[in-house]
Amino acid sequence: MIHYKTKEEIELIRKSAQLVSATLEEVAKSIKPGMTTLEVDELAETFIRDHGAVPAFKNYKGFPASCCISVNEAVVHGILINM
């Protein structure tokens, strides 16, 4: 069955996508060599929460972070929180 989105639902999706884009831009401006994935995750989570949102991944089925971050050749979408 096809479920059509209402105009209100589409607007919420648009706002969410804009926040994701802004979060990625903010993290890209702040990221530096030597930062841990935990530091990058904290940057993203702070930005998301400062803009009135809640990170979707955080605590979903026990997922410990706000972002799915992989380093270099690591498996994509793994949980890698360097402390």
The CA–CA distances, whole Å, from 71 to 40, 47, 76, 81 equal: 11, 21, 8, 10
pTM listed for this prediction: 0.80
Q: Specify the number of domains making up the chain.
A: 1
Whether the CB-CB separation of 65 and 49 falls below 8 Å is answered with no
Q: 48 lies in which domain range?
A: 1-83
Return the H-helix or E-strand segment holding 14: helix 7-30
Straight-line distance from the first to the last Cα atom of the chain, in angstroms, rounded to the nearest whole number: 46
pLDDT at residue 76, as a whole number: 63
Q: How do the pLDDT tens digits run along the chain, 83 residues long?
A: 999 999 999 999 999 999 999 999 999 999 999 998 899 999 999 999 999 999 998 988 888 889 888 777 766 665 555 54
